[in-house]
Structure 1
Amino acid sequence: MTRRSPDQIIARYVWSGESLLQWQALHFEGSVLRQITPVGPGVTADVHLLSPGLTDLQVNGGGGVMFNSDPTPRGLSAMRDAHRRLGTADILPTVITDHPEITEAAAEAALSCWSESGILGLHIEGPHIARARKGTHEEGLIRPLDLRTVTLVERLRQAGMPVMITLAPELAEASLLRRLVASGAVVSAGHSGATELEARQAFAQGVRCVTHLFNAMDQMSSRAPGLLGAAILSPVACGLICDGIHVSWDMLRIALAARPKGALSFAVSDAMATVGGPESFTLYDQQIAVHDGRLINREGALAGAHIDQLGNLRNLVHHVGLSLPAALAMVTSTPRAILGLPARRISPGLKSTDLLYLDKGLMPLQPVHSAH
């Protein structure tokens, strides 16, 4: 039996940030990781899986706060802290369709916070979307892509801040779309009625991501693949809500199996204020509440998701059947790569509190190191 020191943790698996290591000992000085070494047979694991904190590129709210309702640094901090408690280290706060002043206030809040730990930048989802595919977005606030939004995105990008913007590309004026692409923002197709041809034209023009695949877009038929079919078969990045409600497990399996080799697929929570918070909130002056795990608005329609990124990880492994490395990539390194960010890594110098400790069911554990 291998002897261990009081400042050592044995992990069955360690997700380094890009690869899955087996049977590793992590050596700490105080709360700081100093060394990682392999261990031989005959040891007992303290932890089933150690991983860096997760990354989520679509977070509308958390901890009782909706970003649209509180587009301030205080609101961002509350959202970040709620998701951090649930295992997500970095979020891309998302402001959905609203008055221009709300979008601009959200941008200012993100600009003041994005260099802080846990706030990656800004995701602008709407208002430049298709009314027929609005989902829970307020129809009266939808408008065509305009110079006001484009210049806002350009200003954020000139400051160096990562930006994702979701829009219906078939409705965007071509010169304005080109400016968004040229800014370096991640332009994502979503809430769209684009045909297959329109989608492929958008991808050729620099739209390089698709927002919550399957949701808020036309569904495939035998003679009309639409944006959905084009996205699955194209080398663009595709976000997926992996709760079994927005997309069934079988459809998730089909989409992931059909994607081209090297195509980037990633999980998003699309989280609302109820994640890490109370079970209802107000958006667009109407109450949205959790019913049987679903977020429902007054019309009975889905209104965002009640899941966190760690829940997505469990579902990808337990329900979709992905390998642990493939599922971990979808909630860690892949979303970061889409923003051009390096993977979070488990390496010397990391604090024990920056690690995610999981059991065999991929449920969170208290940091083992704190007990040694």
Structure 2
Amino acid sequence: MERFALVGADIFDGEIRRSAHALVIAGERIAVLVPEGKLPAGIDRVELGGGLLAPGFIDIQVNGGGGVLFNDAPTVDGIAAICAAHARFGSTALLPTVITDRPDVTFAAIAAATRAVDAGVRGCLGVHVEGPFLSQARKGAHDPSLIRSMTEEDLQALLATTVRPLLLTVAPESVTAARIGRLTAAGIHVSLGHTEADFDTANAAFAAGAGGVTHLFNAMSQFGHRTPGLVGATLANGDVWCGIIADGHHVHPAAIALALRAKTGPGRLMAITDAMPTVGVDDDVFHLGGRRVERRDGRLTLEDGTLAGSDLSMIGAVRYLADTVGVDLDEALRMASLYPAQYLGVDADRGRLADGFRADIVHLDDARDVAGVWIGGVFVG
């Protein structure tokens, strides 16, 4: 088993920072976090020359990257290309996300994710299915002709899946509380999104088992002083976790800051990208279900101006949270690693740099650029 030590950088272990310490890696795992002076004699040392080691980022919503859209390439190779593109920006684990499409595409994507996880494709943690069980009123960039209510046949097909984590975004208008309960009982994470659900309806879905909210503020009923909507229900419910797209286009920084202060715990806000194929490539145009999407000034839109995912990377989200929103950098790093690990229930070996945890690590230089990434102890760039 290959054994080496990462030295010469501060270490943020997911809770606190340590100086003059080293991470000893043995195979896929962190063997021990120790003071540099206590490293075993003769161990291979990787000298980092400053910066910060942090837990690898975990992105629960990734539609594409590296020129690949998961809906167009619901295959193991498509997943591998998306994961490789995002690894360059610090994402050591992600959920490839298939958005509203025909059933054959949706289940091909789930099958591909199952095979990718079984094959050990670096970076593939599971799968996120966003739609088609959404609300027409809050469709966003989803194809309205394919949005529909969940049937018993749909439910049985989802219950028959084996890949976990499986995250499913639904609207309560299209999926009953009873079906939400059956999905969550099978270990599927149900998240509310693309919905006009009011405060009471949202809380009923949470009581049935939905534990998440997809891209807070975007494509959902908003907060009002008499009608708190899904936004209000999310912030008031401590059992609910939610992703947020911190790119400067989807949510105003003041709204992010207010949500952070208002969120009842232990549920937290998590950084997500909602990334599209443009991440990691120079191409400014792609097609989403036959509709043209263009990147301009970091913003992705359909021809009618509707936002269509993002051009965001996880390190970009971390920097935006820290530099623009004013979140402490350590907390921004938790939003990108520890909190999504806790939400998905994989925090027993992800989201921290600690003895026995997976060696999923990002090295940030002093400018907070990604200087190196290890996935399962393997240097990937």
- What TM-score results when the alignment is normalised by the length of structure 1? 0.88
Q: How far apart are residue 195 of structure 1 and its match?
A: 0.5
Q: How far apart are residue 38 of structure 1 and its match?
A: 3.5
Q: Deviations over 1:112-133 (max 9, x none)?
A: 1123231111111010100010
Candidates 303, 306, 309, aligned match of 1:301? 306
SS at match of 2:8: strand
* C-alpha distance in structure 2 between counterparts of 1:219 and 1:151, whole Å: 32
Which shows bigger deviation, 132-141 or 23-32? Answer: 23-32
* C-alpha distance in structure 2 between counterparts of 1:84 and 1:340, whole Å: 21
Candidates 288, 294, 300, aligned match of 2:293? 288
Q: Deviations over 1:185-204 (max 9, x none)?
A: 11110000000111111111
Q: How far apart are residue 137 of structure 1 and its match?
A: 0.2
| Residue matched to 1:238 | 242
Whether the aligned pair in 2 keeps the contact of 1:24 and 1:36 (CA below 8 Å) is no
Whether the aligned pair in 2 keeps the contact of 1:23 and 1:39 (CA below 8 Å) is no
Candidates 260, 267, 283, aligned match of 2:264? 260
Report 1:89-128 matches (<5 A). 89-115=92-118, 116=120, 117-128=122-133
* C-alpha distance in structure 1 between counterparts of 2:134 and 2:125, whole Å: 24
Whether the aligned pair in 1 keeps the contact of 2:134 and 2:173 (CA below 8 Å) is no
SS at match of 1:289: strand
Whether the aligned pair in 1 keeps the contact of 2:164 and 2:187 (CA below 8 Å) is no
Whether the aligned pair in 1 keeps the contact of 2:148 and 2:174 (CA below 8 Å) is no
Whether the aligned pair in 2 keeps the contact of 1:47 and 1:357 (CA below 8 Å) is no
Aligned residues between the structures:
356
* C-alpha distance in structure 1 between counterparts of 2:223 and 2:373, whole Å: 45
Provide the alpha-carbon RMSD of the alignment: 2.6
SS at match of 1:187: strand
| Residue matched to 2:181 | 178
| Residue matched to 1:270 | 274
| Residue matched to 2:20 | 24
In structure 2, the CA distance between the partners of 1:34 and 1:191, relative to structure 1 (3 Å rule), is: closer
| Residue matched to 1:199 | 202
Q: Deviations over 1:251-299 (max 9, x none)?
A: 0000010011322221110000111122221111122121111001111
Report 1:63-74 matches (<5 A). 63-74=66-77
In structure 2, the CA distance between the partners of 1:35 and 1:110, relative to structure 1 (3 Å rule), is: closer
In structure 2, the CA distance between the partners of 1:248 and 1:27, relative to structure 1 (3 Å rule), is: closer
Whether the aligned pair in 2 keeps the contact of 1:114 and 1:161 (CA below 8 Å) is no
- What TM-score results when the alignment is normalised by the length of structure 2? 0.86
| Letter paired with 2:313 | D
* C-alpha distance in structure 2 between counterparts of 1:49 and 1:215, whole Å: 32
In structure 2, the CA distance between the partners of 1:99 and 1:356, relative to structure 1 (3 Å rule), is: same
Q: How far apart are residue 155 of structure 1 and its match?
A: 1.6
Any gaps of 5 or more consecutive residues in structure 1?
Answer: 1-5
Q: Percent identity?
A: 38
* C-alpha distance in structure 1 between counterparts of 2:24 and 2:224, whole Å: 56
In structure 2, the CA distance between the partners of 1:24 and 1:205, relative to structure 1 (3 Å rule), is: same
In structure 2, the CA distance between the partners of 1:341 and 1:366, relative to structure 1 (3 Å rule), is: closer
